[in-house]
Structure 1
Amino acid sequence: MIKKIIVSFGLLFSAASLAQEGTASPYSYYGIGDVRFKGTAENRAMGGIGILNDSIHVNLQNPAAYSALKLTTLSVGATHSMTSLKTSEAKGDASRTTLDYFALAFPAGKLGVGFGLMPYSSVGYTVNSPSTSPTTPNRYYTGEGGLNKVFLGAGYQITSKFSLGIDANYNFGNVETKGLRAYPDVYLGTRELNTSDFSGFNVNLGLIFNTKIGKKQEFLASATYTPESNLKSQNTRKIATFLGNEIIDVEVDIPVDDTEIKMPSKFAFGAGFGEKSKWFVGGEVTMQETSGFGNRYNDITNVTYEDATRYSIGGYYIPNYRSFTSYFKRITYRAGLKYENTGLVVGGTAIKDYGVTMGLGLPVGNAFSSINLGFEYGRRGTTFDGLIKENYTNVFLSLSLSDKWFVKRKYE
């Protein structure tokens, strides 16, 4: 059974890894693209809260949670996104399938260690603005690429109530954007091709406090802090004239400065309570100083940034995880809500994001492994001031395999 599941997921992720345009949003043109959610499917289904320190599930949002692991855990996830884009004059649809993360974590006494790979941000859009008269050009814009991160983290249980953790991340990637302009009655058009190669390091610090508040209930508090860091961007720009299907006539390299993008600091605090392996409810607030954020190129003038804030609430419920008679009683039911001021301000209008999430944790094989299925429906942006409103539906899936590794055999 487990082998078949692994093969199926392997085929899924092979397909997903070939199409790492993780967004269809025109807003991904700005900055380093559309910043992706950096947690597991389990957390995402609960509104994105990263509070829980679980003994059999990886928490990629707070490295202090590694210390709670009792089993070695392999976790992989992917998402299929369907987006409806609408302006005051037109609308369109797009879909993407992407790999979300690959992570492996294992316990070593009071220490837990984890490492893996995940997308950090994505650029992926196509915008077509046809001419309305002989004096206005046809415009066509595309963008693709994104930023990835490799991470190595560790968490240590200082006392029975406190755990500390740290993640070290190397961020890297490439973004290419292209713009075409052609007047209806003009023989040649112009093409602008921009590329940016990114690289940089940052760290993420975490703290978790856990205490009993009754015979069965417990209280959890979580905090993470990501200090400000810099991301180097090596930029190039080429201007060309083209004929027909982008047959290049003349291409000229235009000097542009390499830039150093400030990666803003981020602080998140959350708290919740519940009964372990039964139910939990909590909330989290994330604040990011994106007001000092920059774009890949210094000549983008229609966008500014303000500090970003995200609010998330969510939780889970398991009827009876020890039930031998009912499979449905062992399923984990998850749900949550989120609201985010993204910090992006286009043409003087702040871009905001609202969403509702839900999911199921389906036990497979032994009692510690699961398939996690989740759904997210949300809205971002607006049709006012000539902007774009996005209604999106995300279906996400993960496999969490937990077992004892590195155990010396008594008998050969």
Structure 2
Amino acid sequence: MIKRLIVVCIAIISSSAFAQQGTASPYSFYGIGTLKFKGTVENRSMGGMGVYLDSIHVNLRNPAAYVGKNVDAFPYDGESRPVKFTVAGTMSDTKLKSNSGEGETNSSTFDYIALSVPMGKFGFGFGLLPYTAVGYKLDDINDDGDIENRFRGEGGLNRVFAGLGYQISEKLGFGVDFSYNFGNIQNAAIEFAYTPEGELVQYQTREDNRSDLSGLSLNFGLAYKTMVSEKLELSATATYAPQSKLSSENQRFYNTIVINTTTNVEGTINTSEADLEADGLKNTKLNLPSRFSLGAGLGKPKSWFVGAEYTLQNTSNFSNPIFSNDVSTFENASQVAIGGFYIPDYDAFSGYFKRVVYRAGINFANTGLVIKDESIKEFGISFGLGLPVGRGDDFFSNANFGLEIGKRGTTNKNLVQENFINFNISLSLNSRWFRQRKYN
């Protein structure tokens, strides 16, 4: 198990170092970027629902999952929960459509790496994940076909977290995550100038901005599970992340540039730094909005499960003067996720596909972003497979594959509609590190 973890870690770190920008969405222009974190591949394959908690999968949405109930005697001899490790990545293909044209873009990204360790009635978890992503290249073209503005951006917010869960009773668990958020956002803007004859002026001005972000946040979780009949189990979860603040250290530079109209290469002639201190923008505070979710589901243990989850995020309180603009505002964000899974026969010794987990889900979301008085909404359907890959004590390890198909945004008021396909892959590895000694 240890060797496998080392190999996987090296592979993920190496691949993420060469990965493309984590998003190519034009909507990442606004605020601190588009939200990347939607849970594990298992969650995303069920519409983003995080209600189902068990002892063999890491659940990054609810820290109460760190304690999960003990698995049955097979194959752990009824002694202890397994240590859980997970790592994942996503490849995306997005078609962009507006009233003035169409385009296509793709991206690949590292999603998360996490470990959960059982400790009696406690459970401990920690990991790293990208939280938001910025990545766009936009040209604003007028009716004559000339570029009026060009915008570029990259970066995003990352999150390293550590959490602790506690089994209050046989049916109820509680947990809390402590997160340190960090990252930077860089963007550039050029307002093109032309001569009266329509020729591009030789010297243009480019504005470069950089914001370095950091701060702490919390996430609390509750999980309740009980048998409501001989075969049916009820699961209910709740999470709450209070509003937190990030510190933003900002820089702004004005550059005189020359643009090669054939290659679009920009050559910098000179640079001057803006005095943000005088405008009160050198060091600002950014509000990360509070978030609350509530979910419930019903199923037959180790066979099937169906559930739903509602999430509300108070994004109307999002603010940072350095990111303000004249065309966008924020309202409260919300999401409804419905999904579930089916396992034909989880402990079948013959017939591999009887042990495969089949997942599906659907979600409806209001992202909280409002542009030109248009609320930016998102819709998606998802499917997934959990393929067993373990043997012996690693019997419940699996490779998870997910497919998300959906759309974000609208073509109203010349905005952009994104039609996306996301392919997700993760490894969920399990092993019992702590055995009780037995004597004959």
Output the TM-score relative to the length of structure 1. 0.95
Q: CA RMSD in A?
A: 2.1
**What is the CA distance between 1:19 and its match in structure 2?**
3.0
- Structure 1, unpaired ranges of 5+: none
Amino acid at match of 2:219: N
* CA apart distance, 1:138: 4.2
Whether the aligned pair in 2 keeps the contact of 1:131 and 1:138 (CA below 8 Å) is yes
Task: Tell me how many residue pairs correspond in the alignment.
Answer: 410
Partner of 2:246: 231
Determine the structure 2 residue equivalent to 1:322.
Answer: 347
Q: Is the 8 A contact 1:196 1:296 kept in 2?
A: no
Q: Cα deviation per residue 1:233-278 (whole Å; 9 max; x = unaligned)?
A: 1111111110133221232211230221111111000000101110
Does the 8 A contact of 1:131 with 1:139 survive in 2? no
C-alpha contact (below 8 Å) 2:139/2:147 kept by paired residues: no
Match in the other structure for 1:100: 111
Q: Distance in 2 between matches of 1:341 and 1:38?
A: 14
Letter of the 1:114 partner, please give it: G
SS in 2 for 1:27: helix
Deviation at 1:128, TM superposition (A): 2.5
Name the stretch that deviates more: 246-255 or 317-326: 246-255
SS at match of 1:209: strand
Matches of 1:60 and 1:137, distance apart in 2? 44
Deviations 1:151-178 (A, max 9, x none): 0011111011111100000000011011
Map 1:92-241 to 2 at 5 A: 92-130=103-141, 132-133=143-144, 137-182=147-192, 183=194, 184-241=199-256
Please say if 1:249 is aligned against 2:264.
Answer: no
Q: Do 2:30 and 2:323's aligned partners in 1 also have CA atoms closer than 8 Å?
A: no
Distance 1:24 1:294, change over 3 A: same
1:386 to 400, 405, 414: 414
For residues 8-407 of structure 1, the aligned pairs below 5 Å read 10-11=10-11, 13-19=13-19, 21-68=21-68, 70-130=81-141, 132-133=143-144, 137-182=147-192, 183=194, 184-244=199-259, 245-256=265-276, 257=281, 258-295=283-320, 297=322, 299-366=324-391, 367-407=395-435
Deviates more, 1:259-268 or 1:19-28: 19-28
Query: If the length of structure 2 is used for normalisation, what is the TM-score?
Result: 0.89
CA contact (8 A) 1:17 1:98 kept: no
Answer whether contact 1:21 1:146 (CA < 8 A) is retained.
Answer: no
1:251 maps to amino acid: T
Deviation at 1:12, TM superposition (A): 5.0
Q: Is the 8 A contact 1:32 1:296 kept in 2?
A: no
Distance 1:224 1:20, change over 3 A: farther
- Quote the Cα distance in structure 2 between the aligned partners of 1:38 and 1:10: 24
Percentage identity across paired residues of the two chains: 47
Tell whether the 8 Å contact from 2:62 to 2:221 is kept in structure 1 after alignment: yes
Q: 1:262 to 1:155 in 2, by over 3 A?
A: same
Instruction: Say whether the 8 Å CA contact 1:176–1:194 is kept in structure 2.
Output: yes
